[in-house]
């Protein structure tokens, strides 16, 4: 059974949607469905991410909390320790 939604749009966005509806000839429902499908697809984790998460690899590493921001410095420090 279809789900009904109710949303409030500011005047500017409502006008943009109305112009798009007229230009494309699509219904408001079709536009909302397409927009939501695109948003969900963009926000969904990739198949690779899901595979790593399912395998238990996500969130199990140990290291400095700022490693993502300072990866080059951490690598340099690590390599210096080995030589």
* 56 and 27 together in one domain: no
Q: Residue 41 above 80 pLDDT?
A: yes
* 39 and 53 together in one domain: no
Tell me the residue range of the domain where 82 lies: 48-83
pTM higher than the cut 0.75: no
* 10 and 26 together in one domain: yes
Q: Residue 45 above 80 pLDDT?
A: no
CA nearest neighbour of 20 among 4, 6, 35: 35
C-alpha to C-alpha distances, 7 to 13, 28, 48, nearest whole angstrom: 12, 12, 34
């Amino acid at each position: 059974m279809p789900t009904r939604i109710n949303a409030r749009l500011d005047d500017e966005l409502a006008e943009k949607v109305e112009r798009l509806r007229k230009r494309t000839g699509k219904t408001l429902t079709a536009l909302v469905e397409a927009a939501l499908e695109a948003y969900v697809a963009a926000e969904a984790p990739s198949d690779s991410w899901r595979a790593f998460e399912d395998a238990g690899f996500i969130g199990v590493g140990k290291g400095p909390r700022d490693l993502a921001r300072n990866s080059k410095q951490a690598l340099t420090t690590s390599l210096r320790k080995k030589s």
